Every structure is written in structure tokens, then in C-alpha cells.
Structure 1
Amino acid sequence: MRPPAFWDAAPTHPVARVLRPLGALYGRHTAGRMDRAGLRAPCPVLCVGNFTLGGAGKTPTALALAGLLRDLGANPAFLTRGYGGSLAGPVVVDPDRHRAGETGDEPLLLARLAPTILARDRLAGARLCVAQGADPVVMDDGLQNPSLTKDLSLAVVDAGVGVGNGLSFPAGPLRVPLARQWRHVNGLVLIGEGAKGEDVAKEAHRRGLPIHRARLIAAAGLSKRRVIAFAGIGRPEKFFVSLRETGAEIVDTRAFPDHHPYRASDLEDLAARAARAGADLVTTEKDHVRLPQLFAARVGVLPVTLRFNDPGPLIAQLKALVSGSQL
């Protein structure tokens, strides 16, 4: 879905005010579910979640955390629900065999780095992770899911949007009122810069939580190329900015809803735009895995990686997780 504009406006926006009672009911119900005790997995569980609906940068964060865990000598495996895919699991994701329609897009990216288990039943998925040699499990999303006990939960926030208007869905983007979510979080990953993100960071600091600041680094290689950029992610504008910062000449853009399933009409339109402009098509890694293979071969990709400004405090939390002192 594409977030409605009023989610990023003041909470007094007329539409938000009308929907606020429904948001209060939804938030209260989800908060009660979030507070339930989960079952213990056979190994430590690191949850990479977010406070809101939509993208915040969880997947690049999960990939970066798995890299740090490997540097510590651990054997991480990813556990994901596979949003947008048809498989229920538990199943080991194979990028050479599975398609985005089966698994969703994120699992295909995660599986390039470490064993990735797709499972709607999180406990069954964690057990399969362990069977694949995992220690610990890195759970991509699931902060509000109570089925598993989390040993370390990090909330990812895009500093450019923060938590929007601070209201619960559908009045705003929050899954649960923010005050109810802090008790389930052990640290904040703040990606990029922005006043709204700083507001969240101030609250995290007030509660004594570590704040891990990070930024997305785009790969080089597109400098001075004429490109048409398209993306179906949480904030396509962020991708367009990253692409422009590489030195690419963006002649046109097209934004799609998050996790958009590309149709033939979309692909025909993109190809026609590129032909008229004499430009190359470029998209994100998440979008690229959702494209039909023949069309994907004609589209460039801008890989991005997450880099922590000061990884020391985060590494300390990960060491405690690996050693079991958080259990």
C-alpha cells in the first residue's frame, strides 16, 4: 500500500480525527496481543522490527546485523514471514528456485547472505533455523508478533518520517501506540537524518535505550548515466535521492506502492518511457527480484548497504546476545 498523505500531517488533520477512534481500538487490541508471553526458541532470537506499518529499512538492517554477528563468530540465520508470498512454510528459501510470488521479495535478498527460513508459524520456523545450524536467529519483522520470545529487539526508524502523526492505524501509521511499544524494545536503529526521527531518538534516550545511528550507502557505477528510476518500496523518494547522489542523471521517475506486483502494463509503460528518453531503467534490489526474469535482465540495480556510525555499542549488545547473557 502507499501511505496516505495525512499520516505524515498533524494528528489534527480532519481525516485523522475521524479515524482516531477506530485507530484507538485497533491499537489497543494489537497492544494486548503484543503483551502476550511468547514461547522460547531453541537459540537466541534477535528481532529487527519497526513501530509503524510500511518500510523503515528493516531488511538492510537485518543484513548488516547478520554481518556483524558473523564477525563475532556466530552463525546467524534469518526468519521471515515472507510478506506478499504464497508459501506458508516452514521452508528454506532458495533464490535459485523460488520466486517473489512464492516468498515475497525480502527473503530472496536475505537468502543471498545466510540461510533464510520462511514461516508463518514463527516457532516452527525458528526450529528449522536451528536445524540449518543457526545460532542466533535474526527475525526480520515481528516486533508486534507475540509467538516467540525475543532476546534482543531493535526498532528501526527512518529518520525522514519518524512515526508519522503518532496515531495508530488507520488514523496513522503506528501498529500500536508508541508508549506501549517501548517496553518491548532494547534499542533504536535510526537511519538517516530528520527532525521526526530525532523526536523518536529523544524519547529513546529518555527511556535509557541505546540509539544506533546508521546510514544507507549506495553503490557507485551509475555516474553520468541517463536513467529512469522506478521503485515500489516504503519511500521511493529515498531511493531516487540515493540514485541522484551517485551522480546518475535521472530523467524520469515512477513510484509504485510498497511490494507492488509488477503487471505487464507497468513493464510496457516503463520500457516505452526508457525508449523515448534514450535512458536506462534502474530500480532497487527489492523491486528487481519481483520483476519477470526476461524484463529484469534489461533493468539496472542500485544496491545499498547499511553502515552504522559507531558500531561499538551495538556490537556489545550482539556479544551479550551470542553469549546468552540476555537470556
Structure 2
Amino acid sequence: MSSKRRTPPRYWFDGFPVPWHMRLLSRLYAAVIALRVRAYHSGWRRSVRVPVPVLVVGNITVGGTGKTPLTIALVQRLRAAGYTPGVASRGYGRQQPDQAAWVDANTRPAQGGDEPVLIARQTGALVRVDRDRVAAARALADAGCDVVVCDDGLQHYRLQRDIEVEVIDGERRYGNGKLLPAGPLREPVERGQRCDFRVVNGGEPGFGEWPMRLASDAALPLHGGRSRPLASFAGQRVHAVAGIGHPPRFFDMLRGRGIAVVPHAFDDHHAYSARDFEFGSELPVLMTEKDAVKCAGLAKDWYFSVPISAQLPEAFWVALLDKLDKLRRRGSGGKRSTDVEEGDRNE
């Protein structure tokens, strides 16, 4: 595997002993997290309600779990049910993170962030990037959205939410179960259990969890043209490129299709250059959609994007839409607005 990516410490997921100083730092981190949560629960810091229901998608572990494919699926399903959803995101990795912006299919990833651009291209929904998620949600409501989907906002407590969806990596789960930096957890495991829905990407779901499968059947040339069945690469060697939270998931998916993968893993949100593709051979290059939105200007004729779709049981959609419909009938949003404390504005 390429060494271009920083990998998690082996003690996070592989059962190795945790260094003592990491355990000490983890206790300090736990104290800070507990203090922050208590500040919101006690009213020391104020959370803000916007005029429309807010649905938050997130995780309590560091790294990718499949939030973006689920966010795209949620937006598409909400629209099919008659809603006008909008997406609020921080837009991690963009060049001007302090500047709020609207993102559409033509926005450069450097300006809007790779995930927001991908969401905009796949859904056509309004997408707002802003470090201040409250301001982003308000802008979407003012623009006519009747529900806000907040991508990766589980820890952003200043924005009140009506529905929380935790996404879990079904293979790695919570690793060693320890908080950062001793383990991969942003918050204790119990935090996820308080979410309305818990979605498991791959692996075997537990009690009260919903299974999600990421499916892909085609490869799309980055230069445009007709798609090619993914099965047509079976038995061939390809360069596989993934700059996502957990690249092995993409590589394993391709191997499961009988494709001989030469893996090239990059850091999440990696900014690609032509040198990154100096592989020494002109094998077909297969990459994730998230990477492809940043590589159109670097692509050659044998570069392909592999789109994926999140598939969940119909019962999940029935339960989620039922909860959202009840919120709409009660007129959720706007009745419990609170003032914003200046010190919390960019948290």
C-alpha cells in the first residue's frame, strides 16, 4: 500500500497496548468533553433552534464511516417524500474556511470542500458551508428549505437538532473503546446510544441498529463518456486511489469484484497534484467519487470514478419519515429559539 497516508495508531484498532502518556491525555480530553456537554445541559452555553427541523448525520469516531453516502441518500429520499431538503456542512479542507459560501455542482472543491461539492452534484440540493452551523441552517431555511440535513454535526451542540443519526463502521466499530488520543472516540460510546437512529456500514448490525450497504456497479470516465460496468475490470490490475477516512474499505470493495488492486491511500480530503499519480505504469485508475471531484483537471483517459449508493432497509426510511412527519405536524422549529452567545459562535 502507498505510504502517502498517515495511518491510525495500531493500538486504536489492532489490540496493541496504549502508551501511558496517551492514557493520561485521554483522561484530560474526557474531562474537557464532559465540561462542554455539561455547559450546554446546564444552560451556561446556549444552543439555538432554527425555524425548520434539523437532521444531523455524524459519528463518534475519528475517520470515515460512510456519512457522506448516507447524507446523499437522505436528501434524495426526503425530496422523493415531498420535502425540500438543504445541507449544512463545515466544508472541511476548503481554502477559506472562515468564509461562508453556497456550493453547487460547479463549485471548485478548493472553495467549497470535496464532500459538499459531491453532495451538490449528486443531489442538486442547496448546500451551505459555514463554520457556524447555526448560520448555515438559518440561511438554508431562509432560502426555502423545509428540513436541514447537517453533515457531520453530531458534536456541534450549539445547533439544536430534532433527529440524530449515528453512522458506525461495522468492521472497526469503536476500536479499543477509548477516547482520543488513546483511542478513536470523539465522545464516549454511550453518546451514540442516545441517537435516534444508529446505522451500521458493513459488518453485522447489533440490536437496535440499522444495516447499510454501499453498492457500486459502474465506473465513470473522468473525462466524460459512457460508463463502464465495474465487473469489466475483473481479473485486471488497476491502480486504486482513495483519499477518504478509511481507504481499505474502497480497496476491499474492488477486490470483492475480482479486481487486482494496486492500492494508493491518501489522507482524507487530500489535495491532489499530478505527482500523486506517477505510478510508473498506465494501468486503469479507479478512484472514489470524493477524490474524483478534485481530479478532473489531472485525469487521463484511463481514469475512472466509482460511484456508490447507500442502501438501507425500507423500514428505516418508513421510521425516519414518520418521525419527521410528526415534527412537521407539530410545527417543529422556531418556538424555542434562544439567543446566541458570542463566545460560542464558531464552535
| Residue identity matched to 2:311 | R
Matched, 1:99 2:108: yes
Matched, 1:48 2:57: yes
1:228 aligns with one of 226, 234, 239: 239
Report the counterpart of residue 148 of structure 1 in structure 2.
159
Task: Verify the 8 A CA contact 2:166 2:197 in the aligned structure 1.
Answer: yes
Q: Which structure shows the bigger proportion of residues in helix conformation?
A: 1
Matched, 1:8 2:13: yes
Report the counterpart of residue 260 of structure 1 in structure 2.
270
Listed as ranges, the matches of 1:156-235 within 5 Å are 156-183=167-194, 185-194=195-204, 198=205, 201=206, 205=207, 210-220=208-218, 221-225=229-233, 226=236, 227-235=238-246
Report the counterpart of residue 341 of structure 2 in structure 1.
none
Report the counterpart of residue 126 of structure 1 in structure 2.
137
Runs of at least 4 residues off by over 4 Å: none
Structure 1 unpaired stretches of 5+: none
- Deviation string, structure 1 residues 162-191 (Cα, Å, up to 9, x no partner): 0111111111110012224533x1120111
- Superposition RMSD in Å: 2.1
Structure 2 unpaired stretches of 5+: 1-5, 41-45, 219-228, 333-347
| CA distance in 2: counterparts of 1:2 and 1:326, whole angstroms | 46
Structure 1 residue 263: Cα displacement: 3.1
| CA distance in 1: counterparts of 2:100 and 2:300, whole angstroms | 28
| CA distance in 2: counterparts of 1:181 and 1:39, whole angstroms | 21
Structure 1 residue 242: Cα displacement: 1.6
Distance 1:145 1:306, change over 3 A: same
TM-score by length of 1: 0.86
Matched, 1:299 2:303: yes
Task: Verify the 8 A CA contact 1:78 1:115 in the aligned structure 2.
Answer: yes
| CA distance in 1: counterparts of 2:159 and 2:304, whole angstroms | 38
TM-score by length of 2: 0.81
| Residue identity matched to 2:134 | L
| Residue identity matched to 2:177 | G
Listed as ranges, the matches of 1:308-319 within 5 Å are 308=312, 310-319=313-322
Report the counterpart of residue 110 of structure 1 in structure 2.
119
Q: Percent identity?
A: 37
Structure 1 residue 53: Cα displacement: 1.2
Report the counterpart of residue 244 of structure 1 in structure 2.
255
Report which stretch shifted further, 298-307 or 223-232.
223-232
| CA distance in 1: counterparts of 2:72 and 2:143, whole angstroms | 18
Task: Verify the 8 A CA contact 1:158 1:190 in the aligned structure 2.
Answer: yes
1:23 aligns with one of 8, 22, 26: 26
Matched, 1:284 2:280: no
Q: Secondary structure at the match of 2:77?
A: helix
Structure 1 residue 40: Cα displacement: 0.2
Task: Verify the 8 A CA contact 1:151 1:326 in the aligned structure 2.
Answer: no
| Residue identity matched to 1:290 | K
Report which stretch shifted further, 102-111 or 219-228.
219-228
| CA distance in 2: counterparts of 1:146 and 1:296, whole angstroms | 44
Count, aligned residues: 303
